[in-house]
Structure 1
């Protein structure tokens, strides 16, 4: 199952104390007792893989705990329907887990469709407020250029959690057979991949082994790791995915016009030329074929945020590398994201008569107990404690479609991501699913980027300018990547022409706007 947005979260609630937030502002992190009224929430429709929200065990339980009844409206094909929904005469009180973009938050907040929350949060969302004080980057990521907060975050403090950190996964059986160790730098990576494709490590007498091999839509994860090795991960994964990094002079730069990017593509082109990157890297293989091939033991290396992406049958065969260093002693760093993995997990609309009540209701899930409840559920019902660790009960672990979807029959914060809550550490989640946590031998938490930036908030004017430029540059870069890596374009011969075309599209204006945003973010 593809999991770009999967969030598996967790810990448990053995007992819950219901606390009424007083008018002077309680500091309690327990569940908040509010008036026994009904609130209306709109959320994505996942009823194809779990019970309807109103029938989900977690929401029935939280109704008893909070005294609040939720009238859920769920929507399929959200991205295609959200503009039509906004044209309704009356909106729901809030959007839950719907994933508005930063530009949409600014646009509809400015228009008065979404309510500003920054003045209410300190008093009516004390758990979230506590997180923002402990980590100021959370508030900075949520704050729009006009100083407002229109959406609440999907957040977590574990850099390895929430599908945030990419890794390289090497075939352990092949490493062992060839008496090799997982590589730590780009030179060793080339050596290991060469051995994989030339020394018959699967032992079938056929030259069917592939080096880096994934379905043809997934070249990006490998490139993120290589970018980090060549010094482009100075501001974290989100920055790289938004095509910028910060240089040694603290100046924002465009990734794909950098000389370092030229080195990245030169390196990837060499791997491709030698057959160490599968010839199907850009076309020809879908996800199902790739997983089937993994079951035949022909995949040497893939890159993802978790080993389970390659399928239950093969995942145990792979070991992770989290830090890839570059040539000549260049230090790499962990390819991870900001603690804020989504800025619009809970958005209160103009038609909500009592936003304070809504904040109280959702704020519980930003507490430790609320986070535990949202992932684990309740001891004796959805989980049990074994050797001091919380593990899902057998009816979840043995669910025919896997433990994750098993848990999704009871609790909400384990699938599809962008939940308004505090996510639990990745190791706890693995244990909950009955798995041993991944073991990292390269100290990822000691090798974080210099800073980890979120997606910047744009003003309406910035958004208007960036929209066309970014779309056109991204399209051109995608075409150029394929040509450079596959050798259709020569790096030395075609680089200046490539840069010239980026400038024609609008590179200089793009950089100017992004630098303004970076300066504004630093001042917040």
Structure 2
């Protein structure tokens, strides 16, 4: 009996010690000596605001991201940006930016993921990787953020709760949130930043109206070709030009495909996803492009143009039209050319209307979560602090910092409106506005933040830009474009296997058809379609629609 009582006492002692040990372990993991944390913790860990500084002792986090050329023009890494320097002062967290060589982002990303040599934060286009973000999660490269956001990201959590459409786009089908995304909550007011552009001075000189239909476009391009709008007495005008890399310039012509009610890839077709390049409407689109190419209305070197050649043809009065960005192309060319050629002018044209009877755009104007975001790697030893640092960008103060820079320096508040100062638009060092703004904030490019439409309203300084973005292109119909759907890991891998073959063949044949190397008749068309079907396009369409159905079923 005495032995039994002794055993009971010993068991109670063991249990008591184990409880205290477990409690101590939890306390250590949520508030260790170096500020490290895990995703677990008590409900009392939850915070309602980001208190600054985030850390009491200096902390360095590594952050991998591609470098925008606008930034690269004036700095070696994003750590030189004024907003990140200010962010370090406020939070106590130093960010060591790691940039892959420009043009090698994809290769460097794949190498990094394969080697498992991961930084703390990775900013990338996760929806585009083989296997999708689900594979990066299942591989253990990055971590799920839902619980962490609930506890340590009050600003991002509030944004999601107040904007169900953003929450739907930021989640995977099972509700998983895996990154802090680049957001445009203003949606179409910022997304309508791309479309057809023409030399307005050429139109005016030749007495031409802005083209609205495919027929109008044909007439304008013929007149550009024949009536010497650049005035040099030579027949050297290129009515329409485009650009790409590695022979992909021909794909630029795919921007005309919406006039036939399709896209040059997957598109929405009466609530379902279909594949444009095998539809009969696409055959008619190709015939029109082939005729234009034969008539020399299209740049004969469009398949091989790179950005340098593209810029040269526009800035040397050779090209009359193209598809481009409202800031990176229209704004840049106008600011570059006006001082030396005052008559140089550009105008945004409506997305052309063709047999489909509507002005369709290739841009998803309704998209609010862009396909890039900052994920936290599994190698991160300071998860709680990282989440708080990333969340600060979505706070009112962080929002202003990352969009506009530092008040009193890069912007001033005027009647409640953050107006950029002369250091941005009249830079004393002669920097262009985008290069100047790049020194202060990542709003000119992208980052895990909510891009403010007031930034966009100001960088579009020219009336030509405002007319194109806020009226002409905003009126286009985006219903052909896909939402940000997410195939499963298995689906994504199978889809990539199919589409790698399909895209290579489809691009090759598109070039051959348009440039007259292959006739467009029933025989060649049927062979082309059957080849793509033999590569598994029907299975790919099925995968896309399964992902669409899951997306539509999200709450």
TM-score by length of 2: 0.78
User: Is the contact made by 1:44 and 1:98 (CA closer than 8 Å) also made in structure 2?
Assistant: no
Equivalence for 1:236: none
Aligned mates of 2:306, 2:98 — CA distance in 1: 34
Equivalent runs, 1:379-398 vs 2, <5 Å? 379-384=407-412, 390-394=419-423, 397-398=426-427
1 CA distance for matches of 2:325 and 2:116?
42
Q: Distance in 1 between matches of 2:285 and 2:46?
A: 56
Matched, 1:403 2:433: yes
Deviation at 1:211, TM superposition (A): 0.9
TM-score by length of 1: 0.82
1:414 corresponds to which residue? 444
* Partner deviation per Cα, 1:406-457 (whole Å, 9 max, x = no partner): 2222333424x3x1111122x7336247655421385543433237533432
Match of residue 352, structure 1, among 377, 380, 388: 380
Indicate which of 94, 99, 107 corresponds to 1:80: 107
In structure 2, which of residues 214, 231, 236 is the aligned counterpart of residue 208 of structure 1?
A: 236
Indicate conservation of the 8 Å contact 1:323/1:334, yes or no.
Answer: yes
Contact 1:209–1:298 (8 Å) recurs in 2: yes
Give 5+ residue unaligned stretches, structure 2.
Answer: 1-43, 339-343
Which of 1 and 2 has greater Rg? 2
Report how many residues are paired: 486
Query: 1:477-518 CA distances to partner (integer Å, 9 max, x unpaired)?
Result: 011111221223332331111111111111121112112111
What SS does structure 1 have at the residue aligned with 2:201? helix
Task: Name the structure where helix makes up a greater proportion of residues.
Answer: 2
Matches of 2:397 and 2:349, distance apart in 1: 33
In the alignment, is the contact (CA less than 8 A) between 1:163 and 1:306 conserved in 2? no
Shift of 1:303: 0.5
Q: Which residue of 2 aligns with 1:218?
A: 249
Structure 1 counterpart of 2:122: 95
Q: CA–CA distance in 1 between the matches of 2:519 and 2:163?
A: 45
Partners of 2:388 and 2:198 in 1: CA distance? 46
Cα shift readout 1:42-74 (whole Å, capped 9, x = no counterpart): 223648531544443222211222343434444
Alpha-carbon deviations, 1:87-129, whole Å to 9, x = none? Answer: 6677433224576735352112012221111233244333333
The verdict on how the C-alpha distance between 1:472 and 1:495 changes in structure 2, with shifts beyond 3 A counting, is: same
Return the alpha-carbon distance in structure 1 between the equivalents of residues 484 and 66 of structure 2: 26
State the Cα distance separating 1:366 from its structure 2 match.
2.6
Matched residue of 1:212: which SS? Answer: coil
Q: Could you tell me whether the CA contact under 8 Å between 2:195 and 2:323 is conserved in 1?
A: yes
Distance 1:274 1:160, change over 3 A: farther
Deviation, 1:314, is 3.9
Give the equivalent residue in structure 2 for 1:3: none
Match of 1:313 in 2: 336
**Residues 390 and 432 in structure 1, CA contact (< 8 A), matched pair in contact too:** no
The answer to whether 1:262 aligns with 2:283 is yes
Tell me: higher relative CO, structure 1 or 2? Use CA pairs within 8 A at least 6 residues apart: 1
Q: Is the 8 A contact 1:169 1:320 kept in 2?
A: yes
Structure 1 distance, partners of 2:181, 2:175, is: 16
**Structure 2 counterparts to residues 317-328 of structure 1, below 5 A:** 317-327=345-355
State the 1:473 CA deviation: 0.3
Indicate if the aligned counterparts of 2:226 and 2:235 stay in contact, CA closer than 8 A. yes
Change (3 A) 1:293 1:86: closer
State the partner residue of 1:244.
266
Unaligned runs of 5+ residues in structure 1 are 1-21, 233-239
Distance 2:481 2:127 in 1: 21
**Distance in 1 between residues matched to 2:257 and 2:532, nearest whole Å:** 19
Q: CA RMSD in A?
A: 3.2
From the superposition, tell whether residues 521 and 212 of structure 1 become closer, same or farther in structure 2 (CA, over 3 Å): same
